Amino acid sequence: MGKILDRLKVTENIRVSGNIAGMVVDGIPVQIDETKEGIRLSVVCSLGFFKSIKADIDQDCKEQNIRCPYYEGMKAFFFIANDGAFDIVFPKVKNVIAKYLTEVKELECPICKRGYCDTAAFSGPYFLPVHRACIAPGKYEDEEKSGGIGMPHLLIGILICIGILLINFLFLIAMDRQMSVIYILAGAGGAMYIKSKVPDISIPGKIIYAIFCVASHVLFPFLTVAALMAQNRGIAFGEMISRWPTVLSYALSGDNFFMLLCIAGGMALGLWSIFTNKDLGKSSTKNIILPL
């Protein structure tokens, strides 16, 4: 947890989880993320409300010569580059929220689609008004616990890993063993895809991917070496496969050191990518709940 969130914890009614925090300003949920670019303040609101906020903030920032880039969308984003600027912009954000209070109050609960919300909580990536009853156990919090196995995305991730290995196989047959460097990308490529789609993929999902990742990293190099040996000896590929102990002993020989190194690296990177969880804070945003 960074300096600013640490400090806000003392002065504001704020709930922090990792590098994400939620607070309520005059009955409006405000999300605070610590990003590499700086502190990001987000308010879920209509485009009309966002434009009003933006005009006010722009005016104030211009006067004080503060850089405050923003993004438009469903939410209002305010990027504050550093600690000093945060102290100037944060009160302004709070002021405009107070000023446009009624417009934001009209937001409906994303779960039941009705108004008169009484609680601020995360629904997916957004900190917004909901009903306490709507986030009761079993309705919303359970979904937040884990993204599950995410089967369709898991399968696509496995296919990406196998696809890259297949491309590598074709390159190695047509060219030379320097192309083994592509092995580095296969496992991590599939894992990155899965995690971009299912950030909280469950442990069984990770294990399924890991098994396919390791198995394909053994199978494809074996097939590649068999194909190369069949080419050299002028015999059929199937014939070479049937002499698998010969293929295996040659595959593991010093001749293939670079390839083996790349495979080991690719396998390790694939496993590391699927098992590490950079956004640990996000997985526990379900604990960030405040009354409005």
Q: Considering the rule CB under 5 A, would residue 140 count as an interface residue with Zn ion?
A: no
Residue 284 C-beta: closest distance to Zn ion, Å = 22
Binds Zn ion (CB under 5 A): choice among 15, 75, 92, 131: 131
Residue 207 C-beta: closest distance to Zn ion, Å = 36
Q: Considering the rule CB under 5 A, would residue 112 count as an interface residue with Zn ion?
A: yes
Rounded CA gap, 26 and 101, in Å?
7
Residue 280 C-beta: closest distance to Zn ion, Å = 28
- Choose the binding region for Zn ion from 1-9, 52-60, 108-116, 139-147 (rule: CB under 5 A): 108-116
- Choose the binding region for Zn ion from 65-73, 89-97, 124-132, 237-245 (rule: CB under 5 A): 124-132
* Closest residue to Zn ion using C-beta atoms: 109
Q: Considering the rule CB under 5 A, would residue 109 count as an interface residue with Zn ion?
A: yes
- Choose the binding region for Zn ion from 80-88, 125-133, 146-154, 172-180 (rule: CB under 5 A): 125-133
How many residues can be counted in the chain? Answer: 292
Select 7 or 114, whichever has its Cβ closest to Zn ion.
Answer: 114
Residue 107 C-beta: closest distance to Zn ion, Å = 11
Residue 132 C-beta: closest distance to Zn ion, Å = 9
Q: Considering the rule CB under 5 A, would residue 274 count as an interface residue with Zn ion?
A: no
Residue 140 C-beta: closest distance to Zn ion, Å = 9
Q: Which residues bind to Zn ion, rule: CB under 5 A?
A: 109, 111-112, 131, 134
